[in-house]
Structure 1
């Protein structure tokens, strides 16, 4: 039968369809195909290597023949080819030349065909063995798992390169040094290469002018005919562009620092930079801008003269932010580190407030003071009284302190003629109120200094009694009107709205609760980071266990003459005060003690002797940790670490005050594990302090301890009660 073309096409189409279908290949066959493919690749590489070796040998032979020419060797061989009778003899197999039996492989070499067949058999056997090895390894890997003892060839860097080669990387390589200080490209680059407004004036302007002059001089030298005219044109263009840029800078306010501007030229950006420079953060509605200097503070001229006489040349950060807010009769919460000038920050607005009220006379002197300042300790209250008299006495205002340790008769005698300002501790003030020695009928200005310390000492109940004794007819409304300065400065039947301020170093929950209850829409001013030590104090930590070793180490520090008096040494227990003071006296230093068992006269005498320079070292408990201002303390030594990080912060705050630098050395032991974590965090945040390696690696410093359970909870409950007593 003749061939049918349709049948042929149909069969071809069916064959193509069958070939196009995916064919299932078992795993064993796939592995076998993979092994064969690997073997073929190895054979190919081996063949190429042999060809390369053969080609190299042939090239070397040709090179040797070309180099030797037709010279004959001593054995009668010319160009490596046997000649003469010797070659005939070797060809028959009797000699040792290239054609003899020894030259062809020796006695065991045999004929070339035999050698080639032997090599082929050996190659086939090796290929068979390699295929069997591959199959055996695959079977073992399938049923026994991978060989974990085999050295891994995994490289994370190669893996990262394979996965990231097609992805766009937004960051630079960590191995590269991208700093401009070490890059030669930027070695000769000037500070201002562009024509931005930031380069107008000062050093940048002079550099730009020098570059323009240099360019003009170069053009003048190269162009003989028209160079001078071109140089003059270049300088005229430069001066014209600089003048336009200066006009734009004056118009927009950019290009100059806030210190070079008038108050009317300050923009929002300038105030933001000003706050960042002084670490000022504010929260609340309608807060005024801080003051840049005493002249721009808005204080009366007479008060500014007193400020200058006292010696306050430049306001501190808390004074810059708090005084404008307080002058608007706003309630205020000031959070600032110790030693930042908080006393003057609330005294100056207080004196402005009292100046607008009628003076005390025979009719209203028995109605109580105009202002009340509360402090947690007697020493701090007397310190505030001393500072307040510097400003109040020249204005004709009287300041009286009511603290424990003095008789009530003496304090009531001091109140017989009335006082505009009273500085008191909560406990003694409650006694005076309950005994009817004092009323607060016209007290419209309340300041709580170190409010967190008053809560720690258990004065929360006393604070509530005092605040409840204040008049309620002039309380501020808890509405948006409390943020309006004009509304808050209005008189209500001859009396103004009550103004309440709270200054603290930390904000525990109890203090926040009191603030929410008695303050109305307060403005919050935070200087730096709350609860952190100032950057002017260098903190050093040493692990020195045992009393004897600490005394020896203390003697070494004092004998080094690195620190001059006055020096403050803190201990935790009262009886340790006298023991440590006696040891310091044996070392040749004069020392006094300050703790709770001392009478008020003894406390005042000890502080006055240190302030006057009569005594070199003050040994104290946490009683001196808050608010005690001893000028120019060079060293604070924690003979015993404080029980809490807050107490530690206030201890080391006795040095490095008013912008001066100081050092704090702390001895640690096994009993201080609960505060090691917080201590490490505080040291790591300080820019001038270093975390010692022993503290960094200590187990207790790795995580914050959990304060729960029986013993710890009991201790915390009993703390405020005993502190208040």
Structure 2
């Protein structure tokens, strides 16, 4: 299938061709015709599936080719609104759509926090067709009456699950109350279709079509997962050791907190690694500069929190390291989804101390696959990590303080003992599970839900 067969206009096809796009991704194949036909759409698509073009291409075509109602005596009202959870994602979507509309006139602007409101107000006064906004700052503009949403024809909620996780549901409902109820097309894109997402769709969408190209919580088969046990006090040393093995490899490192991200980036810089941190407390200029330097290769290690990393879109990123495991297993999928894209290979490495084992068990249950556990020579924990009475996984196993070994393998040079495995479930020869063993870690709230100011 080609983009021509999807019904896109010649100027858009020309822009796509110049950017090297010739074959639509599955989400684009399914979503674009439905959007062009005017249907509301509930789309399941994770980062890296091409979802921005899936909603952006038909949106641009609609804005560029459909007649616009002109109101005398006032600025042009926005005709389309895209809501995103973070500043980085808003900027990324804006840049992508500007490229797709290279040969069309679609005035647009971004609205997000962390920068002055003056330039945003000026852009709105000049008149735009498209507004790409984060909910918090858009509410500020609504309160100032510097934006009029009464002319919105198309509403797009991008990464709706993340917006709900970040506590934006009340803001989203306030914004939706300002939009026209009739003749509005609504597109909702989400990595998962949890019940709050479905409830939002039932409340604000009209007979939506549903497409899903990525089954829930799946990860690319080209990603290698590896766990390195380590004492918590030596995590930074082990991270430095792993990064120093090839300091040219671009690596995204995930930390749990904003403060921890800064400390880790400073430690790496002092140790000779070109590193930068990105999180919600950084200014917009700092965040954009860090992303730009990372994409350009000036910085080889980017330390990020979960929410701040949502806007990071880098092709062929070879490695992701979990310095801290996420406390919600689904976030592991989002994190490692930044490597192993489009058939490329990637590595997902996790540094796991004793206190992290409950999070590892949740991740293995979610993935339903074995994760290789490998000691790094010189960094073995002083006291062997106790996985509980079961290996990390969705089913409990009897016996031992360590994950069971598979068939013997040759030692890996320079990496200590042969790998063990965190198992996703019992093998047929493994005996009956014992009840009540291997406590499951409680589901914890996500960190920094209020940290990425929209």
- The normalised TM-score by structure 1 is 0.52
Q: 1:405 aligns with which of 90, 111, 114?
A: 114
Q: 2:209 aligns with which of 516, 519, 523?
A: 523
Confirm or deny: 8 A CA contact 1:625 1:650 kept in the other structure.
no
How many angstroms apart in 1 are the aligned matches of 2:10 and 2:81? 25
How many angstroms apart in 1 are the aligned matches of 2:275 and 2:298? 10
Q: 1:324 aligns with which of 33, 44, 49?
A: 33
- 5+ residue gaps, structure 1, are 1-291, 475-496
Residues 374-393 of structure 1: pairs in structure 2 closer than 5 A: 374-393=83-102
Is 2:346 the partner of 1:662?
A: yes
Higher helix share: 1
Q: 1:339 aligns with which of 48, 52, 58?
A: 48
Is 2:164 the partner of 1:455?
A: yes
How many angstroms apart in 1 are the aligned matches of 2:213 and 2:324? 29
- 5+ residue gaps, structure 2, are 375-384, 397-437
Equivalent position SS for 1:404: coil
Residues 225-244 of structure 1: pairs in structure 2 closer than 5 A: none
Equivalent position SS for 1:538: strand
Q: 2:259 aligns with which of 552, 572, 575?
A: 575
Is 2:245 the partner of 1:560?
A: yes
Is 2:251 the partner of 1:542?
A: no
Cross-structure match for 2:415: none
1:722 positional shift: 7.4
Confirm or deny: 8 A CA contact 2:45 2:214 kept in the other structure.
yes
Cross-structure match for 1:511: 197
Is 2:140 the partner of 1:431?
A: yes
How many angstroms apart in 1 are the aligned matches of 2:70 and 2:289? 35
Per the alignment, do residues 700 and 306 of structure 1 end up closer, same or farther by CA in structure 2, a change over 3 Å counting? closer
Confirm or deny: 8 A CA contact 2:274 2:301 kept in the other structure.
yes
1:692 positional shift: 3.8
Equivalent position SS for 1:446: strand
Deviations 1:383-407 (A, max 9, x none): 1111111122420111200010111
Confirm or deny: 8 A CA contact 2:362 2:441 kept in the other structure.
no
Is 2:282 the partner of 1:605?
A: no
- The normalised TM-score by structure 2 is 0.81
Deviations 1:412-465 (A, max 9, x none): 112222111110000001111111000112101010111000001110000001
How many angstroms apart in 1 are the aligned matches of 2:448 and 2:236? 29
Confirm or deny: 8 A CA contact 1:594 1:623 kept in the other structure.
no
Equivalent position SS for 2:126: coil
Per the alignment, do residues 358 and 383 of structure 1 end up closer, same or farther by CA in structure 2, a change over 3 Å counting? same
Cross-structure match for 1:354: 63
Deviations 1:53-104 (A, max 9, x none): xxxxxxxxxxxxxxxxxxxxxxxxxxxxxxxxxxxxxxxxxxxxxxxxxxxx
Q: 2:187 aligns with which of 494, 501, 504?
A: 501
1:513 positional shift: 1.0
1:525 positional shift: 1.0
* Structure possessing the higher relative contact order (Cα contacts under 8 Å, 6 or more residues apart): 2
Between stretches 529-538 and 670-679, larger displacement belongs to 670-679
Is 2:40 the partner of 1:314?
A: no
Confirm or deny: 8 A CA contact 1:610 1:630 kept in the other structure.
no
Deviations 1:642-677 (A, max 9, x none): 111122111111222344221110112233344333
Is 2:302 the partner of 1:593?
A: no
Equivalent position SS for 1:619: strand
Cross-structure match for 1:366: 75
Per the alignment, do residues 301 and 516 of structure 1 end up closer, same or farther by CA in structure 2, a change over 3 Å counting? same
1:705 positional shift: 6.2
Confirm or deny: 8 A CA contact 1:459 1:724 kept in the other structure.
no
Confirm or deny: 8 A CA contact 1:365 1:417 kept in the other structure.
no
Q: 1:470 aligns with which of 179, 184, 190?
A: 179
Would you say how many aligned residue pairs link Structure 1 and Structure 2?
Answer: 401
How many angstroms apart in 2 are the aligned matches of 1:718 and 1:569? 16
Confirm or deny: 8 A CA contact 2:111 2:133 kept in the other structure.
yes
Deviations 1:272-314 (A, max 9, x none): xxxxxxxxxxxxxxxxxxxx22221111122211111122122
Higher strand share: 2
Confirm or deny: 8 A CA contact 2:361 2:440 kept in the other structure.
no
Is 2:360 the partner of 1:676?
A: yes
Confirm or deny: 8 A CA contact 2:320 2:347 kept in the other structure.
yes
Equivalent position SS for 1:604: helix
Is 2:305 the partner of 1:621?
A: yes
Equivalent position SS for 1:501: strand
Residues 218-257 of structure 1: pairs in structure 2 closer than 5 A: none
Per the alignment, do residues 305 and 576 of structure 1 end up closer, same or farther by CA in structure 2, a change over 3 Å counting? same
Q: Please, what is the CA RMSD of the aligned residues?
A: 2.7
Per the alignment, do residues 633 and 624 of structure 1 end up closer, same or farther by CA in structure 2, a change over 3 Å counting? farther
Confirm or deny: 8 A CA contact 1:343 1:384 kept in the other structure.
yes
Equivalent position SS for 1:388: helix
Specify the structure having the higher radius of gyration (Cα).
1
How many angstroms apart in 2 are the aligned matches of 1:722 and 1:509? 24
Equivalent position SS for 1:622: coil
Deviations 1:597-621 (A, max 9, x none): 2111111111111112211111111
Confirm or deny: 8 A CA contact 1:337 1:532 kept in the other structure.
no
Deviations 1:543-580 (A, max 9, x none): 223132x223222322322x743211111122222222
Per the alignment, do residues 547 and 698 of structure 1 end up closer, same or farther by CA in structure 2, a change over 3 Å counting? farther
1:364 positional shift: 8.1
